[in-house]
Amino acid sequence: MTMTATTHRVREGKLARVAVGMARFTLTQPLGTLGLLFVLVMAAAALLADWAPYDPTAFDMSAMLAPPSREHWFGTDAFGRDIFTRVIYGARTALAIGFLSSLIGCTVGAILGVASAYFGGRIDLVIQRCVDILLSFPIIVLALVVVAMLGKRMVLGIDVNLVVAISLPIIPKVARVARAAALTIREMPYIDAARVAGFSHARIIFRHICPNIAAPYLIMFTAYIAQAILLEASLSFLGLGVTEPTPAWGLMLSGNAVEFYREAPWMILFPGLAITLAVFAFNLFGDSLRDWLDPKFKT
Amino acid sequence: MGRKLVWAGVLLALSMPGPAFADQPTKGGILSFAIGGEAPNYDCHANYSFSAIHWLAPHYSTLLKFDTSAYPSIVPDVAESYSVSDDQLTYTFKLRRNVQFHDGSPMTSADVKATYERISKPPKDVISLRSTLFEDVASIETPDPFTIVFKLSKRDASMLANFASPWNCIYSGDKLAKDANFPRTSIMGTGPFVFVEHAKGSHWVGKRFDRYFIEGKPYLDGFRAVLMSGPAMINALQGGQIVAEFRGFSPAEKSRLVDALGDKATVQESGWSCKLDILFNTAKKPFDDVRIRRALNIAIGRWDGARSLQRVAFVREVGGVIRPGYEFAAKKEELTKYPGYSEDIAAARSEAKRLLKEAGVENLKVTLLNRNLSMPYTPTGLFVIDQWRQVGVSVDHVQLETSPYQASLQSGNYDVGINAACDFMDEPNLQLLNYISKDLSSLNYGNYIDRTLDDLYEKQKRAANKAERYALVRQFEQRLFHEAYTAPLIWWHRIVVHHKQVRGWYITPSHYLGQDLASLWLAR
Amino acid sequence: MLSYVGYRLLLVVPTLVGVALLIFLMLRVLPGDVVEIKLRGDGGHVTQDVVERERHRLGLDKPMLTQLVNWMVGLARLDLGTSMWTGRPVAEEIGARLELSLQVAVMATLIAVLIAIPLGTLSALFKDSAVDYVVRIVTISGLALPSFWLGMLIILTLLYVFSWSPPITYTPFYQDPLANLAQLIWPALAVGYRYAAVVARMVRSSLIEVLREDYIRTARAKGIVPRLVVIRHALPNALLPAITVIGLEFAFLIGGLVVTEQVFNLNGIGKLFVQAVSRNDFTLIQGLVMLLAVIFVLVNLLVDLFYAVLDPRVRYR
């Protein structure tokens, strides 16, 4: 009885703290708030894409290369597909792939980094070599080969292999940061105390170390969503990422879209702007989040 | 308004009769042009891609060649004259006496013989990709240094054209005797240009061969070919760093160039001996069911599709397996009787739905294998997806890089695919080869065996006259479409835009032909 | 110090061996091989026999282990093998393109440093002011603009506004500096912007940190004018982390120009890589990956050694 009451109170307290925290974030980080707003708008667009005015894949040869108008806000492409609709659906593709890749990359990276720092010795050496190996592969090269190697596997409209390819280069970078962060915590007296008290490794890692690296994790997670979106766009642009007819921003710029520069500049303008805005927003938000969470930056 | 005027100018230029272009050729100048790819080696016999022949053709000659200003007529090249016996089993060529290799040695019948033996019966370590075209050659004789006689064991209706193939570059017999693979790494021919330099991945330089066997040719002092494609190539053409590219342009590229260059541009257009086919992997369920293949074939509205697709992709004409406009192609009234070519698309779609229902696959889901090339694979693939969507078939579009794509076709690891059937000349032997049984053609990716088709193929190859061959080709098409092993899509349409100063180059339906640059000149 | 260098060099070996193993195995899982593209394609009718012979010639029919051992033995002797596509030595294929990519990377680095240090310093000095916000927006835009899109816009602007387009083939700088720069300055700008953004952000954050340290406060207390303080004391210290970033980005750039080289049609390492991947030219891909890995590892090592020289504590970590 008392237990539930306590948890209830704790939860209320947490809620209040979150609300206060958000309010403080808004006040101290106007740029970050702007970024967050962009992100939220994009997320809403992605979620509500099904209400977009047109079918993103349906041809309308009678409306090919139509300029922006009341019917087609961003104009249409070479197949008469509505660009506004495709940009909206593209947000779904970009966010899904960006979010998943960053989540996988950061989580795997963090686990490796923490394990490396906590266990040390031979495990540390082996993990660090693996991290070095992955790091020495140039990002886009790694993605190129993995995409070519794994082919395409669609799950719920998302190419999981592409997600893997994009998350791979994130892993070693996160692992390094997580290791460094965990190392400083490992030396703290209370970890020693916990170890002496005979707590299990899992308990020490999850109860004591993980909460302490939550801040860098969150910062990296946001930043890598931006990078993942950019990498997905680059791969799609090269024809190695998302394939037609799936609406994706990088893909909308690829091939000979650029040949329509004079006839239909909106074809390369809006998808490019969408990529830029999306990455911009995530970076802006991530930056402010870092300034806000990192004690070193507090004045 | 401005654009309309420019367009009118281009149309006017196009409709002008030949002589308007054919003013006196002037000598000199370096032609700067683009080529969209690079070949693995320099051997004509071992390559198949335009990205090999465009670099190599200026350096080599062939026995006969196509007259690009009057395609498909065939004219002698290093031959002076030729004759064909009445039974069409003996081909005799008289060679020019003044043909020299770039090293100064004279070319004789022995060189031609060595070349053709290398093509038809390659030594073990030599790759010859078109040996089958000459499998009926029983013997090659050289009664004197300037006469060569080919004796055939069986009549072949395509034989004369085979001798005009741009791939049969004539090599020096002496050098071949020393090293049968010398053409892989060095370039030494009798063509109008001498090889100067190849900067890998960048450019290729050739200079005029002063002792070329045609007096006064070539007109150019030399050429500089640059490896580039896509938007970068169009930018360079617009900026004037290059003055031509001879493979082909998309409609969007054309309109951008015409818009930017105005009356400085010349546009040449032609049907193109290439098309994309829908391939059904008949070894895989449910595509072993002819009803499903037929339904998917007739659900494609080719006539409407051609009208709209030609605005965004370099495709235009609706045709069967022979290029529309060529003498062996089906005429429109014959074509519209084939399944899938009806002009009543509504009726065709309800028939397709009925067939799918009958086959028990009303909600058919297919995976469409395609190459990830933006032109014309992607737009054509999107068109097919849109057409099938309208009869309730949903499609998962898989676009792969060339190598994994080719591997999927080869291993039969696909459902339905889009594949190019693109030949270096209009000849039924080449075009029909795509569709005969698996065991007879390495180009058959549909994994079927059909002896009726094989039999018709052989018969048309041996046909004594054109009328007989025409009828046999029609029978072949009827059989092919009835069984719906494949569904040809819209034929390509070749558009070449070059700067107006480039003269003496004529478009043909094949981008493999007419690239020796001997007659090309630059107007001042 | 020497033992530290030795230790670091020793660690390089397993990393490079790991990279070699990984790329080799990854490639052998790829569907298809170079022979398919070489001999079959638009209408290439070729018998299976010919295909098998070419596979044999390239050694693709040998057991995987034999191929791996052969390659590793070659690597140990600094022999990268021959390209399966052209049959020329891999080192030669790469050598012909390395100069261009290196030059773009160097130029981008110069551009980045020239822009980043003043911007980052300004931003840190006037933290949370309008100047800071503007700089932050400019730098974050640099991270956000896809370099291929920026490249496209640069080319189109040059073409349509100035009716001019850059030269299409590479001229070495020592032959004709003007022609060389006219071609390469644009891609260097397109990637340099992003690069500058990354460095400027690093300069800003490390400068903010340094400005808070005690000796700066002491210097201020001594009455030295603030601007001098920054330049004399804070900036050199704040630049240390920036040098790491510059080093890493530089190593990344050499191989990371893939998309930019595509847009600008540059015959460099990145384009070679895309070509090699699309042709399944295994030996060339392997050679390129090894080269990039070696560059990356060496740059990393140099940066670390540089640190160790400046900060003895590093050596004992």
Where are chain B's structural domains? 61-190, 271-493
B396 touches chain A (CB under 8 A): yes
Collect all residues of chain A within an 8 Å Cβ-Cβ radius of residue B381. 244
Nearest-neighbour CA in chain C from A3: distance (Å): 44
Kindly give, in sequence order, each residue whose CB lies less than 8 Å from that of residue B464, ignoring residues fewer than 6 positions away: B88, B155
What CATH number was assigned to the domain covering residues B61-190?
3.90.76.10
Tell me the average pLDDT across B24-34: 94
Q: How confident is the model at residue A74 (pLDDT cuts 50, 70, 90)?
A: confident
Which uninterrupted H or E stretch holds A121?
helix A121-136
pLDDT value of residue A255: 74
Give the closest of B40, B201, B403 to C32, CB-based.
B403
Residue A58 to residues B314, B387, B393, Cα–Cα distance (Å): 21, 10, 14
Contacts B–C by Cβ distance under 8 A? 138
Q: How confident is the model at residue B8 (pLDDT cuts 50, 70, 90)?
A: very low
Collect all residues of chain A within an 8 Å Cβ-Cβ radius of residue B379. 78-79
Collect all residues of chain C within an 8 Å Cβ-Cβ radius of residue B125. 53, 57
B253–A262: do the CB atoms touch at under 8 Å?
A: no
A78–B252: do the CB atoms touch at under 8 Å?
A: yes
Q: How confident is the model at residue B6 (pLDDT cuts 50, 70, 90)?
A: very low
Tell me the average pLDDT across A51-80: 81
Collect all residues of chain C within an 8 Å Cβ-Cβ radius of residue A250. 146
Q: How confident is the model at residue B280 (pLDDT cuts 50, 70, 90)?
A: very high
Amino acid identity, residue B138? A
Kindly give, in sequence order, each residue whose CB lies less than 8 Å from that of residue B296, ignoring residues fewer than 6 positions away: B278, B280, B352, B366, B388, B393, B416, B484, B487
The most confident of the ranges A61-75, B470-484, C3-17, C201-215 is: B470-484
DSSP secondary structure string for all residues of C113-125: HHHHHHHHHHHHH
Three-state secondary structure call for residue C143: helix
Q: State the Rg of chain B over Cα.
A: 24
pLDDT value of residue C313: 57
Each residue of A216-260: pLDDT tens digit? 888 889 889 998 999 888 888 887 788 778 888 988 888 777 777
B420–C42: do the CB atoms touch at under 8 Å?
A: yes
User: What mean pLDDT is reported for chain C?
Assistant: 84
Three-state secondary structure call for residue B278: strand
Collect all residues of chain C within an 8 Å Cβ-Cβ radius of residue A233. 146
Where in the sequence is the domain holding A288, given as residue range(s)?
2-297
Residue B95 to residues A72, B189, B321, C317, Cα–Cα distance (Å): 66, 16, 36, 82
| In the predicted structure, residue B109 carries a pLDDT above the cut 60 | yes
Q: Is B387:B303 a contact under the CB 8 Å cutoff? A: no
Tell me the β-bridge partners of B486: B279
Each residue of B361-413: pLDDT tens digit? 988 999 999 988 888 998 899 899 989 999 999 998 888 878 788 888 888 88
Nearest-neighbour CA in chain B from A51: distance (Å): 20
Tell me, rounded to whole angstroms, the distance of Cα C262 from its chain centroid.
Answer: 15
Distance CA B466, CA C240 (A): 81
Collect all residues of chain C within an 8 Å Cβ-Cβ radius of residue A297. 205, 208
A137–C289: do the CB atoms touch at under 8 Å?
A: yes
pLDDT value of residue B3: 43
CATH class (in words) of the domain with range B271-493: alpha beta
Q: How many CB atoms lie within 10 A of CB C18?
A: 17
| In the predicted structure, residue A78 carries a pLDDT above the cut 70 | yes
A140–C156: do the CB atoms touch at under 8 Å?
A: no
Percent of chain B with pLDDT over 70: 96
User: Which of B200, B247, B375 best tests the C interface by mutation, with the highest count of C CBs <10 A?
Assistant: B200
Distance CA C255, CA C23 (A): 15
**pTM (2 d.p.):** 0.86
B375 touches chain A (CB under 8 A): yes
A240 touches chain B (CB under 8 A): yes
Number of separate domains in chain A: 1
Each residue of C59-91: pLDDT tens digit? 888 888 888 888 889 888 888 888 888 888 999
A61 touches chain B (CB under 8 A): yes
What the block records as the tokens of A69 is 């108008």
Contacts A–C by Cβ distance under 8 A? 124
pLDDT value of residue B10: 44
Nearest-neighbour CA in chain A from C137: distance (Å): 8
pLDDT value of residue A12: 64
Name the H helices within B390-512. Answer: 402-411, 428-433, 451-461, 466-483
Nearest-neighbour CA in chain C from A215: distance (Å): 17
C96–B443: do the CB atoms touch at under 8 Å?
A: no
The candidate with the shortest Cα–Cα distance to B419, out of B388, B447, B449, B454, is: B447
Name which of A59-68, A278-287, B45-54, B133-142 the model is least confident about.
A59-68
Tell me the β-bridge partners of B422: B274
- Subunits with 3+ C-beta pairs closer than 8 A to A: B, C
Distance CA B503, CA B510 (A): 19
Name which of A93-97, A205-209, B415-419, B507-511 the model is least confident about.
A205-209
Tell me the average pLDDT across B136-147: 96
Phi then psi dihedrals of residue A53, to 5 deg = -60, -30
Q: How confident is the model at residue B431 (pLDDT cuts 50, 70, 90)?
A: very high
Tell me the average pLDDT across A121-142: 84
C258–A141: do the CB atoms touch at under 8 Å?
A: yes
Mark which residues 460-479 of B lie under 8 Å from C by CB: none
Distance CA B234, CA B213 (A): 35
| In the predicted structure, residue B165 carries a pLDDT above the cut 70 | yes
| In the predicted structure, residue A65 carries a pLDDT above the cut 50 | yes
Nearest-neighbour CA in chain A from B112: distance (Å): 43
B35 touches chain C (CB under 8 A): no
Give the closest of A130, A238, A275 to C149, CB-based.
A275
Nearest-neighbour CA in chain A from B94: distance (Å): 49
B401–A240: do the CB atoms touch at under 8 Å?
A: yes
Return the sign of the alpha-carbon dihedral for residues C112, C118, C122, C124: positive
pLDDT value of residue B341: 94
B440 touches chain C (CB under 8 A): no
Q: How confident is the model at residue C10 (pLDDT cuts 50, 70, 90)?
A: confident
A144–C141: do the CB atoms touch at under 8 Å?
A: no
Nearest-neighbour CA in chain B from A156: distance (Å): 12
A239–B383: do the CB atoms touch at under 8 Å?
A: no
Kindly give, in sequence order, each residue whose CB lies less than 8 Å from that of residue A277, ignoring residues fewer than 6 positions away: A38, A42, C144
Collect all residues of chain B within an 8 Å Cβ-Cβ radius of residue A244. 378, 381-382, 397, 399
Each residue of C263-314: pLDDT tens digit? 888 999 988 988 888 888 889 999 999 998 898 888 888 888 877 777 665 5
Collect all residues of chain B within an 8 Å Cβ-Cβ radius of residue A143. none
C316 touches chain B (CB under 8 A): no
| In the predicted structure, residue A153 carries a pLDDT above the cut 80 | no
Each residue of C102-114: pLDDT tens digit? 999 999 999 999 9
Collect all residues of chain A within an 8 Å Cβ-Cβ radius of residue B375. 255-256
B383 touches chain A (CB under 8 A): yes
Mark which residues 131-170 of C lie under 8 Å from B by CB: 152, 155, 159, 163-165, 167-170
B236–C45: do the CB atoms touch at under 8 Å?
A: no
Residue A103 to residues A37, A39, A224, Cα–Cα distance (Å): 21, 16, 9
Q: Which CATH superfamily is domain C96-310 in?
A: MetI-like (1.10.3720.10)
From first CA to last CA, the distance across chain C in angstroms is 12
pLDDT value of residue A295: 59
Torsion of CA B286, B289, B295, B300, to 10 degrees: 70
The candidate with the shortest Cα–Cα distance to A90, out of A255, A201, A252, A292, is: A252
B40–C54: do the CB atoms touch at under 8 Å?
A: no
- What's the CA angle centered on C274, arms C270 and C280, to 5 degrees? 135
Tell me the average pLDDT across C4-17: 85
A10 touches chain B (CB under 8 A): no
Amino acid identity, residue A159? D
Tell me the average pLDDT across B98-116: 96
User: What mean pLDDT is reported for chain B?
Assistant: 91
Nearest-neighbour CA in chain B from C282: distance (Å): 12
Q: How confident is the model at residue A298 (pLDDT cuts 50, 70, 90)?
A: very low
pLDDT value of residue B311: 86
pLDDT value of residue C67: 87
A132 touches chain B (CB under 8 A): no
Q: How confident is the model at residue B428 (pLDDT cuts 50, 70, 90)?
A: very high
Q: How confident is the model at residue B254 (pLDDT cuts 50, 70, 90)?
A: very high
Q: How many CB atoms lie within 10 A of CB A37?
A: 14
Domain ranges of chain C: 2-90, 96-310
| In the predicted structure, residue B172 carries a pLDDT above the cut 50 | yes
A255–B374: do the CB atoms touch at under 8 Å?
A: yes
User: Which of C48, C99, C148, C168 best tests the B interface by mutation, with the highest count of B CBs <10 A?
Assistant: C168
pLDDT value of residue B22: 53
